[in-house]
Amino acid sequence: MPLPKGELALSSRRTSTVVTWIDEFDQVQRRRANPSLLTARIYLARQSREKTWKRQNEPTHQGYYWFGQLERHVWYETMSEYLGLMFLDQSRTVRAISAQPMLLSFGNGRSHYPDYFVLGGRGDQIMFNVHRADKVAEDPSQFEAALDVCRRIGWSFELFTGLSEVHRANLEWFSCYRHPDYRPSRKQAAGILRVAERGPTFADLLRRFPMDESRTVAHVYNMIWCRQLAFDFELPLTVHSAVWAVR
């Protein structure tokens, strides 16, 4: 259930900065941008903008990303957003996330639908936008205004503009092992971590567990995805790549 259709037109006539969202009980909420929003739980908000499905053969893509940490699907509108969700899923602890969670009215006739709102592992609340770097450079004003709102409220603000080709390729590869089915048992994880304390290569790990190589590969990849093991995502993945335990 998106926001009422007249809400966007109303936002263009506002003379102060207002945040509008649909809470987890399907009630429309409107509040001025101030620190009281820190208790509003917008990370549980319903999607505020209606989903737009593109026609066949159009270049953009929409769908649902299976967010491994939360074990649920999250809407994305472009492949850049898909990559941004994948990056969030792997790079930090996420306790909750909402897609297109609010309508920001800036009080000057302009408005903005942020892409995501995140509750982090330390209770931090993050407005997370995804945009191509060249498009940001063309018109940064929308994101500058959103950053100002976040500072006023006490939220963090992040603008994701993409990853290097190597980082992206590694992330996509490891994402295939984010499902709990690839998660090792405590005993198996402890054995892998003991070896990883010495900073082995992938080949070293496989030699250490020769009787169950395919399962070890899946377990190691899952532990890298879940940040129990570390790997330099900016380097190409080979059997000689170093792996180490995260402390």
Residues 136 and 205 in one domain: no
> Does 123 have pLDDT greater than 70?
yes
Residues 92 and 214 in one domain: no
Residues 44 and 138 in one domain: yes
Residues 42 and 135 in one domain: yes
- How far is the C-alpha of 84 from the C-alpha of 129, rounded, in Å? 9
User: pTM of whole model > 0.95?
Assistant: no
Average pLDDT of the chain is: 91
Q: What is the pLDDT of residue 83?
A: 97
Residues 106 and 71 in one domain: yes
Residue 1 covered by a domain: no
Share of the chain above pLDDT 90, in %: 74
Strands 103-105 and 111-112: antiparallel
Q: What is the pLDDT of residue 211?
A: 64
| Residue-number span of the structural domain to which 151 is assigned | 6-160
Instruction: Give the total number of structural domains in the chain.
Output: 2
Which CATH number belongs to the domain containing residue 191 in this structure? 1.10.10
Pairs from 83-88 (Cβ < 8 Å, separation ≥ 24)? 83/130, 83/160, 83/162, 83/163, 83/168, 83/171, 84/115, 84/116, 84/128, 84/130, 84/160, 85/116, 86/171, 86/172, 86/175, 87/160, 87/163, 87/171, 88/116, 88/118, 88/128
Q: What is the pLDDT of residue 212?
A: 74
Joined together, the tokens standing for residue 199 give 């900073």
Which residues have a Cβ under 8 Å from the Cβ of 37 and sit 6 or more positions away?
Answer: 19, 31, 153, 154, 155
Residue 146 CB neighbour total at 10 angstroms:
19
Most confident of 141-150, 168-177, 207-216, 238-247: 168-177
Per-residue pLDDT of 85-101, as tens digits, reads 999 999 999 999 999 99
119: phi then psi, degrees, rounded to nearest 5:
-100, 115
Joined together, the tokens standing for residue 210 give 């020769």
Residue where a domain stops, chosen among 139, 160, 181: 160
Picking from 234, 215, 243, 225, the residue whose alpha carbon sits closest to that of residue 176 is 225
Joined together, the tokens standing for residue 87 give 């990056």
Higher pLDDT, 141 or 223: 223
Residues 104 and 179 in one domain: no
Higher pLDDT, 232 or 198: 232
Joined together, the tokens standing for residue 8 give 């966007």
Three-state SS string over the chain comes to CCCCCHHHHHHCCCCCCEEEEECCCCCEEEEECCHHHHHCCHHHCCCCCCCCCCCCCCCCCCEEEEECCCCEEEEECCHHHHHHHHHHHHHCCEEEEEECCCEEECCCCCEECCCEEEEECCCCEEEEEECCHHHHHHCCHHHHHHHHHHHHHCCEEEEECCCCHHHHHHHHHHHCCCCHHHCCCHHHHHHHHHHHCCCCEHHHHHHHCHHHHHHHHHHHHHHHHCCCEECCCCCCCCCCCECEECC
Residues 17 and 120 in one domain: yes
